[in-house]
Structure 1
């Protein structure tokens, strides 16, 4: 096997060497392949990414230092049709013989097959032609570089280039830049012709981006121009545009310094045959007209219904279907206020967020009733969406539970339910799937199923007994959601019913910040088939059964038949329940000091926890902040935190009401012990864009849930797990931890989690991207009823149990989503003994292939 591996590696190395030597295969004689652009600034090489992007020609791309796409292109036959025809031109008899065997038409079609043509088209399209040095493009690049350094304050920059041959038909271009000293800003003065704008500028609290002593940068002047324009337009200057802002740069008699004068001219008014100038006016809003059912068809008609509410004029071409406040609450442009762009933007965002109108149109016109011509009428045109809309989805799924699944859902959205811009969403879903790991006595292919019904009612305001405007103003675009749902599933063998309901408040404190307060979040989980527990959690059964073979004293626990008695396997559920009860009540030779006794106790504690019905009544607050501007932004950070408290309200009511406790000393509601805990999470993501589609991404996560009062453990639905395509990719979901326990259970979970990931993303070719990643983390039990010391987090020394997985991946970018494949290798496995944890399973046999949609973080 080693010899074969050596031969394969040797073959690959020889193939790569041959391809590398053949990189100039398609470079014409007398021409050179561009291998490198060297930018030398004052004699020293620079890695300035922006300067490098000025190049008209860049060397062929590399994958891990290898020009893969160039060599793929060189392998292609650029004229496969001519090659195929030449094959018969040199041997006419061959064409006749093949035509007799097949047909002339089939022989001609053979030339269009993948073998003769398709493979070469693929290589040509996937590959990349050689970048041959073009001196005309080199001169254009040099001119771009000159402008780039000039725009950064090097007014005396000198440029030149040389081409150095570095091999056969290979050359590098040296761009030589002599910058000279950079110019800095000296005195800054203003010349603003319109007195009103001059007064606004002088009273502004916003700092200027142009400061004496700063190095000259053209971008600073452009940003200052935009800042001034935004400021003026937010303070009444409706007709002001960036073109009215100019700068005079004076370097005469100055040594490496420049005086700056800011010029703002008067408003230019174009007439039919001439133009004139006049001072800018600052406008106020004289009227706000809202057309609630506008469309192109009725644009020239007159509204038939109207009303006035809080100085807003509402019009409708049919009967007005909205309560006025529902619309006016979304409008931040008010009568008597100063014209401001930000009010227009905020109104558009709020109206769009109502989800009952198409994107709104807000237009202004000068009010002809004002003799001073300094008033504007704001016209808000709203086009309603359909009151009822139907949706349906169908998808094929794969998860840690389902090997194969088919899902479908239908939904109905009803808008403006109570005539105050509310939306009601009702949806139903059905999923059926197949799982080899589930208990399946009838051997049915579709042995996993789930169906559910959900309802969500959204109100575009905060529903509360008293006003919240001072705490959460409407500029934060608040809304209230009331939700309820029911689902029934047969997926992990316990057959659960899940009832949910709640009320939450959502708002945006700032443009890229979001906040959510779940005032009440209720969940009731009912296990329909708890007796099937050991058929599902087979690892727990195997451990219990092995102990039972040695210590069971009640033959009835093995069953009634002779064969069962001989096999000595505990029956499910009667035998497992009987043996566990015998052990914990002293009916066997095992005592609390025995490790087997402790293991049986641990198995029973987990069984109770996972089969008991759960009732959770929680309140939570979450906050997210991000600097991400759009989907293409690869240089941002995101921070999310959440704190959740469950059961505290119920315990307070129970204590005040002096309600009785059950035999275990806990309160109950509807004859069910409710969960009580506090949970908090912190999640931080940071991306750095290095250019050329190279991105470094980092994620860190910490979460902990601590039971208290009415509970000594965390419900399964609120616990943490490790592994999976969005976590530690070297482990399957639920297969990591807790601690150093070697994942002894089928679905391992705990109440504390630490995780961190590092991923380097790069372009391979076309829309195919690659990634190298490292994932670290684990889960532990802390301050709950788990007694296994290997699973518990006791002190900082337990951080040695953080697992490390490394690997690589491929991603295909479809613009609207990314298909992802990641291969993870167990690099450091804390489940092994100390000294045996590093690289013991670092091979393909123990690797994990993950399939995912979009990036893991």
Structure 2
């Protein structure tokens, strides 16, 4: 009862604070606060973003109708230092009392303290002053509205406004726009002074943005000017300038049909105080010269070495360190080809992608006699060797204190083909008070590792792939191998990885990745520590042992006590525990899970990934992204074991070189869409589906390739690994399965300054499907299993540091499928059961 009373009191207090705020507190008596703008276009209300943005004055920002920033500004006080002094002048006795335990100087400086001055300065800086109705700004808005509709072809558009003043110093403005009839493009003619450009224009006329019969739009003319400029500069017109293109449009035609004339003037150059016009010329490339030098000889002019390869001339100020083919393959400017802006840009990207040069530079030199261009490419080599080292102090839920460090050496141009070899070492020592760690030393956990990575700026295969993956896709190949070993962390794993993968960009904003080989071998060293690590599993088993052993003695964890109890039960040594009882099934499930998590995994896989997004730049707020991946494992090893006629194990599986290998097929789909709702408001959604099906030599998917639910980038009302599978209730320490569905939605809004807020809803879960799991609460059996989708809702804050975003989310379990059906909805919506998530950048 007291809890309910507290909540009601808190609610009443919040409502009182909100309603008590006077939004017109700092509005002068003869002025009015702008509450709302309303735009009527041809008698109909219009609130489209591009129309609303034409208005110079916008009302104060609000969050769900509450003007937070305005109320913050209203809470601030001006002249706080003067008010402070007046306070003590009016009460000298108080000043004297303060001076007894603070010096007079300190008392005098209280006026500049955060409490008296800084707090109000923060409120004024973070808040938002009231927007006062200004008729001059309203008139400017009318001009912008008419200009907007003029640019849409409504040349007779008219606009008016009415300011509606209320007695309580509030008001709004109504804008009325009458567009009139739109104007359509009539005949389109051209006048191109350079004959060669006229012929070139006709070849691309069909791609024009302006066509007869379409409604006049200024944007189309701007796009057409850019299109013509880009087309000419990509077809040999090296000196072409955009200002040479202009349009004549008759906007005064009474029948609302406007003839258009496209004008393209000759090249205009300034000589002294006068200008001169000359016809544009179409240039071809007569030579492609590539100059390479080292940093220590970059100012050296004398050529010490040279080579020629397929019409490319290579020069070096010392001995040429690169094979000519390696450099030439990264250059897309060809001898005897037309000058092309796109080829120049692609060449710069490709040369930078080699990662062996600093800031490539391309200079074109005109040959006035032959009227051609020489392309001179200047490359300054990076140093052959590069060394990196780093160290850091860490803290996590595993270790109370840790020291991590690493070093790496890079060797560039290893085989004279712009290859890069990286060899790295990393390590960590830490202190943990985890009771599962027996070591009594301060630094009682550690991890060491080494890796090697060789990068080729091309597809590294014994046969050519240019017809499938062209050089313009900037392909690269990576061969990598790594080893890591951890001790006193979990089961003390050793991890060996190796991979051969290929990357390329088929189109802009599109990437493809193909792992020809992806090998991972995981070996568990300290299996005896299993029940120390998986405490929840041990507690379940121990409680059952106490029941059926008729005593209160705990099972020993490390010397076989827990394992002996499991083996005795499965050997039918407990008459009350028959295979049909739930407790027997539970113990059998614990045994199966232990075998799964302690087995050594050999994964020999191949996969293909494809990703695409529509984001034009870093500041783009409205975009989509799509990612898909398909992975297959174990097929080559299955073929090998068959050819070697390896004998089958007792469970029907086979080994290769003494190791049982995993065999599965896995597919993933991930789609994200962001909508810009203007004024700093964003609505984002995400959908994810993943499925990994074991077959052949496997009855389950390796832990490293399984799915989990919960966490700061998933369902934020549950912690990582704590949700699912299905409606089982997350009984294990690390809950995982081989199928996952995740659906997320988030509304983001600017609060003030760099602080943003968010409301979110996360729906999803994991299930077992087509594997050896028999627990019906964990298995996905059809559409009916979707009722075990979990729903989490909540709110969060994001602070934008420009180079990264810090995120805090508070998640509430809104629908918990692990609860009885009558208690699943809204039973855990209280602060005591909130899950706090801290993350970097947006969750999806």
Q: Answer yes or no: same fold by TM over 0.5.
A: yes
Report what 2:555 is aligned to.
569
1:509, distance to aligned residue in structure 2 (A): 0.5
Matches within 5 A, 1:546-585: 546-552=543-549, 567=553, 569-585=555-571
Distance, in Å, in 2 between the alignment partners of 1:445 and 1:163 is 74
1:40, distance to aligned residue in structure 2 (A): 2.1
Report what 1:562 is aligned to.
none
User: Residues 245 and 849 (structure 1 numbering): CA distance in 2 closer, same or farther, change over 3 Å?
Assistant: same
CA contact (8 A) 1:693 1:763 kept: yes
Matched, 1:192 2:192: yes
Report what 1:111 is aligned to.
111
Distance, in Å, in 2 between the alignment partners of 1:664 and 1:297 is 68
TM-score by length of 1: 0.94
Distance, in Å, in 2 between the alignment partners of 1:164 and 1:525 is 74
Matched, 1:727 2:729: no
Q: Secondary structure of the residue that 1:359 maps to in structure 2?
A: strand
Matches within 5 A, 1:169-568: 169-204=169-204, 207-293=207-293, 298-299=298-299, 301-370=301-370, 373=371, 375-394=372-391, 407-432=404-429, 439-441=436-438, 448-490=445-487, 492-552=489-549, 567=553
Report what 2:747 is aligned to.
760
**Which has the larger displacement, 795-804 or 587-596?**
587-596
Q: Secondary structure of the residue that 1:651 maps to in structure 2?
A: helix
User: Residues 318 and 186 (structure 1 numbering): CA distance in 2 closer, same or farther, change over 3 Å?
Assistant: same
Distance, in Å, in 1 between the alignment partners of 2:516 and 2:610 is 14
Report what 1:718 is aligned to.
705
Q: Which of 755, 763, 767 pairs up with 1:776?
A: 763
1:747, distance to aligned residue in structure 2 (A): 0.3
Q: Secondary structure of the residue that 1:661 maps to in structure 2?
A: coil
CA contact (8 A) 1:452 1:488 kept: yes
CA contact (8 A) 2:297 2:317 kept: no
User: Residues 263 and 398 (structure 1 numbering): CA distance in 2 closer, same or farther, change over 3 Å?
Assistant: farther
CA contact (8 A) 1:438 1:493 kept: no
CA contact (8 A) 2:546 2:552 kept: no
**Which has the larger displacement, 300-309 or 459-468?**
300-309
CA contact (8 A) 2:298 2:380 kept: no
User: Residues 520 and 782 (structure 1 numbering): CA distance in 2 closer, same or farther, change over 3 Å?
Assistant: same
Distance, in Å, in 1 between the alignment partners of 2:728 and 2:434 is 21
Deviations 1:800-844 (A, max 9, x none): 111111111100001111000001111111112223211122222
**Which has the larger displacement, 194-203 or 394-403?**
394-403
1:104, distance to aligned residue in structure 2 (A): 2.7
User: Residues 809 and 443 (structure 1 numbering): CA distance in 2 closer, same or farther, change over 3 Å?
Assistant: farther
1:634, distance to aligned residue in structure 2 (A): 1.4
Q: Which of 826, 829, 843 pairs up with 1:842?
A: 829
Distance, in Å, in 2 between the alignment partners of 1:519 and 1:412 is 26
Report what 2:574 is aligned to.
588
**Which has the larger displacement, 492-501 or 297-306?**
297-306
Deviations 1:270-298 (A, max 9, x none): 33343332322111101111122277984
Distance, in Å, in 2 between the alignment partners of 1:568 and 1:814 is 52
Report what 1:7 is aligned to.
9
Q: Over the residues paired in the alignment, what is the CA RMSD in angstroms? A: 2.3
CA contact (8 A) 1:732 1:848 kept: yes
Distance, in Å, in 1 between the alignment partners of 2:701 and 2:435 is 24
CA contact (8 A) 1:659 1:667 kept: yes
Report what 1:560 is aligned to.
none
Report what 1:36 is aligned to.
36
CA contact (8 A) 1:438 1:492 kept: no
Distance, in Å, in 2 between the alignment partners of 1:199 and 1:351 is 34
Q: Secondary structure of the residue that 2:166 maps to in structure 1?
A: strand
Distance, in Å, in 1 between the alignment partners of 2:542 and 2:556 is 6
Report what 1:685 is aligned to.
672
User: Residues 296 and 201 (structure 1 numbering): CA distance in 2 closer, same or farther, change over 3 Å?
Assistant: farther
Distance, in Å, in 2 between the alignment partners of 1:622 and 1:498 is 24
Distance, in Å, in 1 between the alignment partners of 2:200 and 2:743 is 50
Q: Secondary structure of the residue that 1:792 maps to in structure 2?
A: coil
CA contact (8 A) 1:39 1:176 kept: yes
CA contact (8 A) 1:552 1:579 kept: no
1:112, distance to aligned residue in structure 2 (A): 1.8
Q: Which runs of 5+ in 1 are unaligned?
A: 554-564
User: Residues 142 and 770 (structure 1 numbering): CA distance in 2 closer, same or farther, change over 3 Å?
Assistant: same
Distance, in Å, in 2 between the alignment partners of 1:369 and 1:187 is 42
Q: Secondary structure of the residue that 2:357 maps to in structure 1?
A: coil
CA contact (8 A) 1:532 1:573 kept: no
Report what 1:787 is aligned to.
774
CA contact (8 A) 1:545 1:570 kept: no
Matched, 1:739 2:739: no
Q: Secondary structure of the residue that 2:174 maps to in structure 1?
A: strand
User: Residues 401 and 855 (structure 1 numbering): CA distance in 2 closer, same or farther, change over 3 Å?
Assistant: farther
Q: Which of 18, 21, 25 pairs up with 2:20?
A: 18
CA contact (8 A) 1:548 1:570 kept: no
Distance, in Å, in 2 between the alignment partners of 1:569 and 1:812 is 49
**Which has the larger displacement, 532-541 or 50-59?**
50-59
Report what 1:557 is aligned to.
none
Deviations 1:592-617 (A, max 9, x none): 22222222221111101100111111
Distance, in Å, in 1 between the alignment partners of 2:167 and 2:423 is 69
Deviations 1:444-486 (A, max 9, x none): 7765543322222111011101111111111110000111111
Report what 2:587 is aligned to.
600
1:368, distance to aligned residue in structure 2 (A): 3.8
User: Residues 388 and 133 (structure 1 numbering): CA distance in 2 closer, same or farther, change over 3 Å?
Assistant: farther
Distance, in Å, in 1 between the alignment partners of 2:196 and 2:471 is 31
Q: Secondary structure of the residue that 1:12 maps to in structure 2?
A: helix
**Which has the larger displacement, 580-589 or 685-694?**
580-589
Distance, in Å, in 2 between the alignment partners of 1:412 and 1:680 is 36
**Which has the larger displacement, 199-208 or 148-157?**
199-208
CA contact (8 A) 1:476 1:510 kept: yes
**Which has the larger displacement, 39-48 or 725-734?**
39-48
Report what 1:47 is aligned to.
47
1:711, distance to aligned residue in structure 2 (A): 0.9
Distance, in Å, in 2 between the alignment partners of 1:809 and 1:56 is 32
**How many residues are treated as equivalent by the alignment?**
841
Q: Secondary structure of the residue that 2:345 maps to in structure 1?
A: helix
Distance, in Å, in 2 between the alignment partners of 1:393 and 1:34 is 55
1:695, distance to aligned residue in structure 2 (A): 0.8
Report what 2:163 is aligned to.
163
1:93, distance to aligned residue in structure 2 (A): 6.0
Q: Secondary structure of the residue that 1:276 maps to in structure 2?
A: strand
Matched, 1:652 2:654: no
CA contact (8 A) 2:531 2:557 kept: no
Q: Secondary structure of the residue that 1:138 maps to in structure 2?
A: helix
Q: Which runs of 5+ in 2 are unaligned?
A: none
**Which has the larger displacement, 781-790 or 111-120?**
111-120
**Which has the larger displacement, 590-599 or 609-618?**
590-599
CA contact (8 A) 1:294 1:381 kept: no
Report what 1:621 is aligned to.
608
Distance, in Å, in 2 between the alignment partners of 1:749 and 1:27 is 59
Report what 1:851 is aligned to.
838
